[in-house]
Structure 1
């Protein structure tokens, strides 16, 4: 357990709601504070701006935090306001140093050459973008945490200069010291050795910048699409997963992209999966029809539909929502396994996500 002073990403709202701050603004008789409310408000505004400038920063001592936050403010900061700010950002943390594990060799083969980004979870900012093969995405974190055994799995050399390397490692150690962990994203993979490389790198940079909350990129005006950055863990799951066995006939295969969101619960996956779907009579009239739910080509859940109810939408009476139950036998066969369009006789998944599999011949309704 360690004590640190970290400015969180939601510091502004927490600062405005802080009882000590409200007392400072409302009281005219505080020690070392001006009796003029206009002066106190100006001091409050200065500290607010300083806190916002330092979002994501972590300090290992109260002196370091105070120096960074208050020393540059003209006219000084009253003691009451300093204490309010320092108490608000005080945090006791377990300085976890869980190093990521090397992923299987076949995952590296599937990824090929890739562009990756390291993200600071304290302020959701990308602080490093690099390229590599194999487990290079973890290289700097392993070096920062002195995981020398893991570093031996690296296939390609480190090409960064000393200054870049030092700054990256320092940032990583600061993140871990604050009780957080670096987030790793693959923003473009299977980059060809020749031809299309410039486009792939461009897409990678766009994807990395798009991780920043509030990013306004013209490239993303039409939606995330091909520029979506993917957490490394998700790609490892996708490429290391075994293929699904033969699907039951009949069944329904549903693509529910939100089912792969980090932190999503099984209850949320079920609600997301229920629909509305363009379920034809052949599906609705099949008792206990299996429903296989996937996202990013990985099966996330398996149910048996017990009933279907019409979803009332203006001008469209053909959409249906199912009510079902999890099926442990189906889950053991399919969940966390890889499914591809060819498994149901398709070249690619339809954009609407609805794939009935009623016969071995081809999908139906």
Structure 2
């Protein structure tokens, strides 16, 4: 199926869901702009993504995914991004085949307790952190509807290029799970292993060289838990290339 030109014009910016007809559940959320992008997912690509695997599974069962339009006639691409991200947060990325939560996640779904900490509690300047920590930025894989095991796993896996000395000597024994500059979980680091060596709730196809994961314990009473991390000028701590950073700097 494809949309006619007239229908494309009427749709404008729109957000769609790919639906498994066997249970009528949305398994992927996307956005498009007056085109047939929603149907491009069904083309025969050599792709091992979770989305492609789900499509193959549905088709192997003798049926095909359905496209549902979730919102259309949106005023701009930015609005479409916001709607897409809100729907992903509502369903929970762990229940979808999307790789990331979407755009605008700094204003995305969080608990009332977290948003209160974000705006009401005194921030911590990262230059004041003296304890040896590793901050892992997990905003792309974190979901407020995730289980504790899932949050733990997306914090500890699968990091590239972690310092061999820090791994072997355990010089940094504290892991901070950071979402939009807020420390949402703190874990002790008991040991490092090659990626894929320990039990995980996350499914991954293969593990590239030089990727690592740690094992540890949740620390409910750490003083940084629930704190907003800021730079010396008061700006929020932002994610760095590679996805993690060491403290003290």
TM-score (norm 1): 0.35
Structure with larger Rg:
1
Larger relative contact order, structure 1 or 2 (CA cutoff 8 Å, min sep 6): 2
Give the TM-score taking structure 2 as reference length: 0.49
